[in-house]
Structures are given as C-alpha cells and as structure tokens.
Structure 1
Amino acid sequence: MTSNTKFIKTTIFLVIIGLVVAFIIGALVYKKNRVDKPKKNYKNVIFIVADDLGWSDLGYASGEAFTPTIDKLAKQGIILNQTYTYSMCTPSRNSILTGVYAERTGLQHFVLPNSNPIPAGIPLAFDLMPKYFKKYGFKTHLVGKWHVGSCSLDLTPAHRGFDSFYGFFYGEENYYTHRVSYGNDASGLDFWDQTKDYLEPILDKNQTYSSFAFNDRIMNILDKHDANDPLFLFYAAQNPHSDSEFNVPEKYENLYSHITNKNRRKILGMVTLLDEAIFNLTRKLEEKNLINDTLIVFTSDNGGDILDYQRNFPLRGGKSSLFEGGHRVRAFISMNGLESNVYDGMFHSVDWVPTVLSAALGQEIEIDGLDGVNQWNSIIENLESKRNSFIYNIDPIGNRQGSKLCNTSSEAIRVDNWKLIKGCPGLLTDWYNLSNFDIDYTINEFGEFLSLNSSRQTCLSEVSDKENNYFLFNLKDDPLEMDNLARVYPCLVLEMEEKLEEFKKISVPPQVKEPTSIFGNPDASPALWGDKWSPGWC
C-alpha cells in the first residue's frame, strides 16, 4: 500500500467521522431548540357547545336520551351543576367567546336574525377566546355554528382568532341542503370553509347531513395536527337545534320508537347523533395519542326550546325566558387526572375564557376587562365559587317575540341564592313535562301558553296586570321557582333592583332592534350574493 493510498483512506475516514460528529451535534441542537416549544406544559382543549339542549335531554340527566359517551365523560370528569348562560344563541355565544356580558357588546336582545339582517356582531374592540390561545402558540379551529356577526369579513371567525372555520354563519340551516329560506327573495346557502386568506362556499355537501360533514372536518383537523403544537378546537354543534323539518337520519329517530310524538323522537335522535360525534372525536384523540393531554369542555348555549319539543323539566320555562329552564344548562369538564365530582359552585358562561385558558396553560390567568373570573382552582379543588352574582339579562326592548302580553323591558339578576326578575319574563313560563307531549293542546292562543300540569301557576296574568312585574325567588330553597316572594321581601327587591340599575350604567343599547319586515335589509339578500348568505354587505 502506497503512502498516497494510506493518506486518502485516512482522509476519508476523518471526513466520515467529522460528518457523524456534525450530525450528532446538529441533532442535539435541534432537540434543544424543539423542547423550548410551549406545548410541553399545555393541554389541548376541545370545547363543545350543544345547541338548544334541554336540561333533561341527556342520559345522565334523566335516562330518556341515549348518550353513553357524554354520560361517561361527565361521570369521569367534573359536572358543573350550577352553570348559567343567556337564554338565546347570540348573547350566549357572545359571553362564551368574549368573557364579557352581552349587555356590554350590544347583543343582549334576541338573536342576529337571517330574516332581518343587520350590520351587527361582536364589536372588534373585544378579543375572542381563540385569540388568547393563539398568543400561547395554539392552533385554533372552529367547526359548526357562528351566529355572532358576519355582515363583514372582519367580523367572521378566521378574522377573530381562528386559523380555520368550517360551518354556517347564521343561527340555523337545513341539515341536508345547508340553506336558509325566508321566501323567494331571502333564500340562500349558508355553508362555508374559511381561513384568513380565503372564504369559499361549500358546494359539494348538498344532501350530506351537516353533523356528518362536521365530523369529517374534525377528523381531518386531528389527522393533520402536529402533536408538538397545542390545539384549541371549538366544536359548535348544530344538534339538537331543529331545522324547519326536524331533519334527522331515520335510524336515530328509530331508537326512540316507544315515544309517541314524532318530533320529540327526532329531537332525541339529534341528541344521540351528537353523542356519536363526540365518540368519534374522543376515539380519534386516542388514536393520535392526544387524549391524555386534552381537556374536554361540554356545555349548551341555552336551555331547550319548548316549541321544538325539548325538555327542561322540572326547571321552569325554557329557551328565551328568564326562568331557570332558559338559563341553567348542563355542563362538565373532563380530563385525564381529574377527580370525578359534582361541583355546585356558581358558574357563568363569561367565566369560560379565563377558566379554560388557565386549565390549558397550567397557570393562573387573569385578563383585564373581562366580566368572567378564573374558576379553575375552585372547580378542581371543590372550593367555594369565586362568583356570588351574575346578570341573566338586561334587555330594554324586552323579551317579546310577538307576544301582546309583554310591553316592558326584560331584566333579571342573581345575588347569592336570590334571583330577581323585573318586567317581561318571556313566553312559555310554566313547567313542561314532555311525556306524551302535544304542543297543539298546550297552545291556547297566540302569545299565551298553558302548563301541561294544569297548575295555572303562571306569570302571564300578572305581566298583563302590572307595568313593572317582579318575581323574587330563593333558589336554594326553591330551585323550581314556584314561590314568588316579591311581596314578602319588598326591601330585598329594592336592593337587587338597585344592583340592576348600577349595571345598566356600563351597558350599551342593543344592536338588534325589533324586525320591521320579513326581510329588513335588501343589501344582504342572497340574490345579490350568488345565492348565498355572504359576508361583505356592510
């Protein structure tokens, strides 16, 4: 072997050794840099909002609905037994997403309606939940319903902190066609795929039941998600909000063949379909090895709609009323390592933002300017709630919905165990046990509804008798609101009314006004926007 050959072999050997050492050093440097990513201390968050879920319409609540996945998650987690929100979609979703009462954003009256579109939404001055999560590196996605403003692009989800949005902007859509119709001049598609860079109508899902389309999108998000990044997924389910036809695949309705009323069967079928979607979601989390690092939150946006055969019994009233059946909702949190419990501390939907952010980050978070308070430690340690009061609603227009009996404002507040209602409490204000429910028998005449239990213990006659009607309840002793104590404790009524007046000082006028016609804003007509309910008209 010549000296040149030895030199060449030695050189090659040294080069190889150098490359190996460089690769090892590079790998160590990359690993060091990678562990600095924030995911190491953070929990993923799956935030699920059911739509118009009745107080009694889950398996663990009454045994009537078949919801094994939801029941399991609730019983393994912490049930939040005193969770309150607004009694209608728009103000409720406002409070969940902002941590601020709807009275401060002008969304306290009714909902943002398709039939009377207005240039309204959550004001841009208010940050939303996904924006707080993005600050800490979370990937943020919304699947399902929006309903807090979409007349301009800057009000829509991908411009309010979500990386992507897949769903519908307004309050409802047909489950199969994804259209909303209010006559020939106000009919259009409301189904969208959005990021900050694009907004496209979803045209290839006609006759695909929306819950299945949403499920496919969620599976896609989870399949593509990089486990090194923390995830915030907001699933605003359409179920069990009815569309005009009570659409649900037949096999889900047939699970309740023992129930006489067809629409009641369909509503419960929608609830079971929601449970199936949550099963698919949790199974995918397990497949992706994410389940142990994920906090699952479940709540309803408001109580069940009596006219849509949803059941809040034994609570009084339902969706759109100021009684407990409209505002008190089923809710729980579930996460690996939590000790199962039923938490009876007072909790309001404005508390979700600081509470869930603190849970995900593993540290105490307080955000200036919110009405919500961080309740995470109180919940997991079963301590006294950090909240002793909240606003049900202060609506200067009043919760009328066409009723001739209500011509005053609608206001309610809770302080400790006491609840005061002032003015119009809304419609459907009795106790409705929907066994063998027959809505035709229940309706007496337009604007007046009778209780199925024939108690006639209703507020409606009093509403028509007095300009400012008062109801005072001790919810600890009387959670079903049967005993009005307003005349027994007049000084307490005055004291709580003063608290309402104090809060009015920081409230703003409602953005939503009373509808003036079946279609109040021609600029929003789908006929001008390619047969779609599109942003861009304001």
Structure 2
Amino acid sequence: MLKRIDYLLKRLISSSFLTVLYCFVFVFGLFYSSKCIAQTPRSKPNIIIILADDMGFADIGCFGSEIQTPNIDRLAKEGLKMTQFYNAGRCCPSRTALLTGLYPHQAGVGDMIKYKGSVAYQGYLNDNCATIAELLKDKAGYNTIVSGKWHVGLQPSALAFNRGFDKSFTMLNNGSSYFNSRPLYNDGSKITFMINNQEVTRSDTSKYLTQAITDFAIRSLEEIKDKKAPFFLYVAYNAPHWPIQALPQDIARYKGKYLEGWDKLRKQRYEKLLASGIIKKSWKLSDRDSRVPDWDSLSPEEKDKWDTRMAIYAAMIDRMDAGIGEIMNKLKQLGKDKNTIILFASDNGGSADEVKSLQTVIQKNEIPGSVNSIDSYEIPWANVSNTPFRLFKRNTHEGGISTPFIAWFPSVIKAGSTNTQPAHFIDIMPTCLELAGISYPQKFKGRKLTPLEGLSLAKIFNDKPWNGHDAIFWEHEGSRAIREGNWKLVAEIDKPWELYDLNADRSETNDLAAKYPEKIKKLEVEYLQWAKKVGVADWNKIKSL
C-alpha cells in the first residue's frame, strides 16, 4: 500500500492539474477504504459447546489416547489446548457451572437433582442465575439449541425450553440405555427425554443415542429461521457414561486391542502426554490404584472380559467423535465454519462406578455392549482414563476434576497453541458473553442475578496475557479443594487435608502437608470463607435427606 501511494504522489508532481485531482481522489479513496476495512468489526460469532460425559483426561488422541478421535484431534491441531482446565467433579455441578458462570452451590445445584435441605442443594437451577442461552438470546439475538443430557433439575423452571433454548432435545436423567428409554434403576423412576416441552419415548428400535443427539443438532442448524442471526449450540453427549453400550461395528474395531492390560496402557498414555508437552517430566505417573489387580494375575477369561469392556468404552468415544465430525461438516456446508468457535470438554474424570455391584441398578447380563447389557468399565479402566492422575469422578483430586479442554476458532485462535494456566467451567459463560459483545446483567427478567464468578478466556484465545484466578474452589459430597497459584489443598470426606505443589507434582504423589503447616492454615481459611459464601454444608449432616 505505501509503495503504491508513494508512486502515485510522484506522478502527482509531474502531472497536469486534472490528473493531479484524479490521482488525489484515487489515493484518498484507497486510504479511506483500507481504514474502513481495518475498523469493520467481526460479526458476532456462532458458539458451539460440546461436552462429553464421564470421559477422562487422557481418553482422546490429542491427550494421549490410542482411541481414534480424528475430529477432536483436528480441533486441537487447528486450535488451542488448555492443559490445566477444571470441571466441578461430577455431572450436575459441572453442567451448572458451565451454563451459569457460577459455582454450582450458588446456582442451587451443590450436589445432584434431589433436594438436600438448603438453597445451595435444592437440586435445580435457581432464580438467581441465568444460562448462557438466556443471555445470548435476549441480549444478543442468538438462535439457541441444546441437544443431549440436561441434568440440572427436573422442575419446569429449570428445563431447557424455559432456560433460553429455542430448540431442545434433552435427557433429564443422569444416564440412559443408548437404545431406549427404559428404566436403569429398581426404584421405578423413568428415563425422561423431551423435545422442547414435549416428553418423548425412545423404543428398542430407536437409533443409537449418540447419533440421535448429533442428528438433532444438525437438523436444528438446518432449520434456523433467522439465517443472519448467530447461533449458540450446546451439544451434551451422554457418551461414554455407563451403561457401556455401543454399535457392534464400532466395538469390533477395538476388540482385542486392550489385552496387554491397564498397566502397559497407562504407561503408553503417560509417555504420549509427555511427548506432546501436555504434562511435565516432574509429574510422575501415579501408582496404579490399590483396588486394581496386577493384569498378569488375571486368567485368560478375565482378561477377555476386561478387554471387551474397554473396547466398548472406546467405541463410545469413537462414535461421539464421528458425530462431532458430522457437525463440523454441516458447519462447512452452511458456510458457518469461518465464524464459529467450538469449545470441547468433559464434565468430570473417568468414573469408578461398578454398576454390577449396585443393588439399585437393574441387572442385565446378555451380550456385552448390547441393549440387553448394563455394565460399566469400573476402577481399573477409569484409572487409565485419568492418566497420570489419582482418583475419579466425584473426587476433587486431579483425576476427578481435570478435563481436556479444546478451543477452535479459525483465524482467531492460533493453530496448535497450548495454554497451561488454571481455568474452570465457570469461565465459559463470561467468555461467551464477551464473544457476543454483551455484559452480564445485575437483573434478568425481574430476577436479581448472583454476580459472575468466572473470568472471560477471550484474551487467551487472542494470544494475549490473562491474569487468571486468584484461587479456584471445589466441594462435592464432602470432597473439597482449593487451588491458589501452584498450591492445592485437597481432602476427601472425613479425611485430613493434603497439600501439593502442582508445578512440581500435579499427579499428587508427594503430600507436603507435614512440611508446610502454615500454608495449610492459610489455604483452609480461604476455603472456609468461600464455603460459607456459596453455602457449602456438612455433607455428613445432609446426605441422608
């Protein structure tokens, strides 16, 4: 541009008056138009949030897994990996934090969806929070869609169609068969699916649930009436939450691949995580969980059973990834891929649930992975899912609360970038609001809103310095933690505090509690102040309600 202007100015000096005038107008036009282009704001982006259920930190390819996830891996390759991102440790609290930008207790879902004796544990979204969909729709004109697991309350006021979503296909429970909506539990409770405000039943001839969630999302994108308005799409897959059920052709691709056992697989995933720079060399691979036997001690029949379980689990993630690929292809077909941000995460770590031992669960023991089998992959494989960390879903040690987080935004997020700063699900709401160019209100539709706890991640997406949180907090059923900088104070229910330096030891293998008692006191005071503010209660006193 500058060379061209310089050339034209030289011509001006040697030209006639008329030529001078023409050239002046031309040069001014070039300058003005270039300035206008530079100042033209990018239109509000489409926003897609994709959430996996009960998937561990190391269960996708770009985070160390052998499971084939080419579409998620593409998002990471072309976008950003945040390697110290946190959820709230379990499905209901995590979904609440994601949707509202608040700690779950502040929004009424400190535990699950049953009332536990206080407003912080009422079991459904309260009136002092708003969802991302409500604010994007009302304040920025977004089309809003949700497809998948809802699980933030059964009261009408907490359902998706009353919480800002134009179109919704939702499962209200914690889980379901992947082939129908028959009960999973012996207490007579049913599995409830809804399309908008109408209850629907999934029969044995229903399509596989992961595919149904994908199909509704795609169909809803096609049916958007206001094509010029941006959209917000929340895709909440139930996979790979138990019961582990998958399509036979998907299972077949993984059967036999896990016969080397969990010890070798944990080591392989650990080495991949190291090679990719996602974890540090100082973070040791935590010991195999004490409840898990040595693989070599198992009989051939036992090894085959465990191989089958993990093959089914892997197949579930594989099929979810295929669905994500279908959504990405639809974006391209609709011409929406250039101005859409996609965020991917998991709601908690791998699950140690052993449904075969639960008397409350209906037992079905026919062909593994089929509609007539109810099973889980249990502690041994969950220990692999959460490599290199300790413990599981429900716990506030790193194995329970760490999520692989990926952000993809063409021409905005630098391809192949990585961020290691601690962040949390509460940060997703303010991020979406900033992307849409709107502010979080003090009141919404006559309701006074609790101030946001999260911080926008937009600066990280734009590769700019981000100050981050002074501290992040957790509490779930008596398991509790605070992370302040690199220090983490954590304890399971009725257990003493443990203290870790996460910069040197994020796998929590070296408890420093005895060495730094003053640090424990300081962090405990901060935790208790937070717990009082958000309404944390003594779990031993409320768990029986």
Match of 1:469 among 473, 493, 496: 496
The yes-or-no answer on 1:316 pairing with 2:314 is no
AA of the residue aligned to 1:77: G
Aligned match for 1:92, one of 80, 91, 94: 94
The answer on whether the counterparts of 1:82 and 1:347 sit within 8 Å (CA) in structure 2 is yes
Deviation, 1:66, is: 0.3
Aligned counterpart for 2:142 among listed residues 138, 144, 148: 138
Deviates more, 1:231-240 or 1:171-180: 171-180
Query: Aligned to 1:80, which of 79, 82, 86?
Result: 82
TM-superposed deviation, 1:240? 1.1
Query: Using a 3 Å threshold, how does the CA distance of structure 1 residues 486 and 189 change in structure 2: closer, same or farther?
Result: closer
Q: 1:77-476 counterparts in 2 under 5 A? A: 77-109=79-111, 111-112=112-113, 120-134=123-137, 135-150=139-154, 152-183=155-186, 186-194=188-196, 198-203=197-202, 206-225=205-224, 226-243=226-243, 246-257=244-255, 258-260=257-259, 261-307=307-353, 308=377, 309-310=381-382, 311-337=385-411, 338-340=413-415, 341-359=417-435, 361=436, 363=437, 365=439, 369-393=451-475, 395=476, 399=477, 409-424=478-493, 469-476=496-503
Query: What is the distance in 1 between the residues matched to 2:419 and 2:398?
Result: 18
Cα distance in structure 1, aligned partners of 2:192 and 2:467: 40
Deviations 1:23-48 (A, max 9, x none): xxxxxxxxxxxxxxxx9721111110
AA at the equivalent of 2:389: L
2:349–2:400 CA contact under 8 A, matched in 1: yes
TM-score by length of 1: 0.72
Query: Runs of 4 or more off by more than 6 Å in structure 1?
Result: none
Counterpart residue number, 1:7:
none
Distance 2:179 2:202 in 1: 12
User: C-alpha displacement at 1:346, in angstroms?
Assistant: 1.6
Tell me if the contact between 1:85 and 1:392 (Cα under 8 Å) persists in the aligned partners. Answer: no
Question: Would the aligned equivalents of 2:341 and 2:407 in 1 still touch at CA under 8 Å?
Answer: yes
Instruction: Assess if the C-alpha contact under 8 Å between 1:97 and 1:128 holds in 2.
Output: yes
1:377 match: secondary structure: helix
* In structure 2, C-alpha distance between the alignment counterparts of 1:179 and 1:215, rounded to whole Å: 21
Aligned-pair CA distance for 1:103: 2.6
| Counterpart AA for 1:86 | A
- Output one character per residue of 1:288-322: Cα deviation in whole Å (capped at 9) or x when no partner: 11111111111111111134333111111111111
Distance 1:386 1:514 in 2: 34
Deviation at 1:422, TM superposition (A): 3.6
AA aligned opposite 2:496: N
Q: Deviations over 1:149-177 (max 9, x none)?
A: 01x21221110111121021111011101
Which residue identity is paired with 1:497?
E
- Name the CA shift for 1:211/1:423 in 2 (closer, same or farther; >3 Å): closer
Q: How many residues align?
A: 411
Tell me the residue number matched to 1:514: 543
Q: Secondary structure at the match of 2:183?
A: strand
For structure 2, list consecutive stretches of 5 or more residues without a partner in the other structure: 1-40, 116-120, 260-306, 354-376, 443-450
Instruction: State the alpha-carbon separation in 2 of the partners of residues 99 and 420 from structure 1.
Output: 23
Structure 2 CA distance for aligned equivalents of residues 40 and 55 of structure 1: 34
Counterpart-to-counterpart distance in 1, 2:440 and 2:419: 22
**Distance of 2:102 and 2:347 partners within structure 1:** 15
AA aligned to 1:97 is L
Unaligned runs of 5+ in 1: 1-38, 400-408, 425-466, 517-538
| TM-fit CA distance, 1:75 | 1.3
CA contact under 8 A between 1:239 and 1:274: conserved in structure 2? yes
Alpha-carbon distance in structure 2 between the residues aligned to 1:485 and 1:100: 30
Question: What is the match of residue 365 of structure 2?
Answer: none
Alpha-carbon distance between aligned partners in 2 of 1:510 and 1:91, rounded to the nearest angstrom: 15
Amino acid at match of 2:414: E
Partner SS, residue 82 of structure 1: strand
Distance 1:272 1:515, change over 3 A: farther
Counterpart amino acid of residue 411 in structure 1: R
Asked if the contact 1:470/1:486 (under 8 Å) is kept, the reply is yes
Note the C-alpha offset of 1:356: 2.2
- Cα offset for 1:473? 0.1
Flag the 1:40–1:63 CA change in 2: closer, same or farther, 3 A.
closer
Match of 1:526?
none
List per-residue Cα deviations over 1:481-534 (Å, max 9, x = no partner).
Answer: 011001100000000011012112212256995356xxxxxxxxxxxxxxxxxx
Distance 2:123 2:232 in 1: 26
Distance across 2 between alignment mates of 1:206 and 1:154? 32
Is 2:146–2:217's contact at 8 Å kept on the other side of the alignment?
no
- Structure 1 residues 423 and 325: alpha-carbon distance in aligned structure 2, compared to 1, 3 A threshold: closer
